Structure 1
Amino acid sequence: MQISSNSVVQFHYTITENGTELESSRQGDAMLYLHGHNQMLPKLEEALQDKNAGDTLEVTLAPVDAYGERKADAIQSVQVKHLQGAKKWKPGMVAWVNTDHGERQVTIVKMGMFKADVDTNHPLAGKTVTFHIEILSVREATEEELAHGHAHGAGGHQH
Structure 2
Amino acid sequence: WEKYDVSRYVGIGAVSPEEGTRTVDVSHYEKKYTTIKDDLEDLVKTSPPEKTIYLFHSPPYDTSLDRAALDEKMIDHAPVDSHVGSIAIKRFIKEEQPLVTLHGHVHETVDITGEWKEKIGETFSFTGVHNGPELPILRFDTENLENATRTLVEI
- After TM superposition, the score normalised by the length of structure 2 is 0.18
- Structure possessing the higher relative contact order (Cα contacts under 8 Å, 6 or more residues apart): 1
Query: Which structure is larger by alpha-carbon Rg, 1 or 2?
Result: 1
Higher helix share: 2
**Structure 1 length as normaliser, TM-score?**
0.18
Q: Which has the higher strand share?
A: 1
